[in-house]
């Protein structure tokens, strides 16, 4: 990931957004689907770009913006690194284990 300037995930639905999370943590600007869990990680226009992946024109325009706008790309890269600092692998692993293995599956995990 450290060798690329942008990461584009045009899935129709991204359940967890782990690929984009990894890219952001590596300092890569991301474009990803607005539908699904990625919107809990990426703040549109602040730490990445979220698009309706069923809209080809919107996807193309978001990618072209990142290619053409160095300032935007650098701002999103820096914000992405900062944003991902609060997401560590133990948190979702703990939540999954508690959900699967506890009698009362109530889990409280704060970002």
- The CATH architecture to which 6-101 belongs is 3-Layer(aba) Sandwich (3.40)
Nearest Cα to Cα of residue 51 among 4, 6, 10, 5: 10
| Pair 50, 33: CB distance under 8 Å | yes
- Token readout for 69 is 């706008």
Q: pLDDT value at position 37?
A: 86
31 by Cβ neighbours in 10 Å (0-12 / 13-18 / 19+) ranks as buried
Q: pLDDT value at position 104?
A: 62
Q: pLDDT value at position 87?
A: 80
Tell me the domain boundaries of the chain. 6-101
| Pair 51, 41: CB distance under 8 Å | no
- Token readout for 65 is 């913006």
Q: pLDDT value at position 14?
A: 81
Q: pLDDT value at position 111?
A: 53
Alpha carbon distance 30, 48 (integer Å): 5
Which residues, given as ranges, of the chain have pLDDT below 70?
104-111
Query: Count of alpha carbons within 13 Å of 80, Cβ hemisphere only?
Result: 30
pTM above 0.85, yes or no: no
């Amino acid at each position: 990931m450290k060798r690329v300037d942008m990461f584009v995930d045009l899935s129709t639905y991204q359940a967890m957004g782990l690929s984009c999370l990894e890219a952001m943590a590596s300092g890569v600007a991301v474009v990803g689907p607005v539908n699904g869990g990625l919107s809990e990680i990426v703040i549109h226009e602040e730490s990445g770009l979220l698009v309706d992946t069923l809209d080809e024109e919107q996807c193309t325009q978001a990618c072209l913006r990142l290619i053409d706008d160095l300032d935007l790309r650098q701002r999103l890269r820096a914000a992405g690194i900062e944003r991902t600092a609060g997401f560590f692998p133990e948190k979702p692993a703990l939540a999954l284990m508690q959900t699967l293995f506890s009698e009362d599956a109530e889990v409280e995990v704060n970002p």
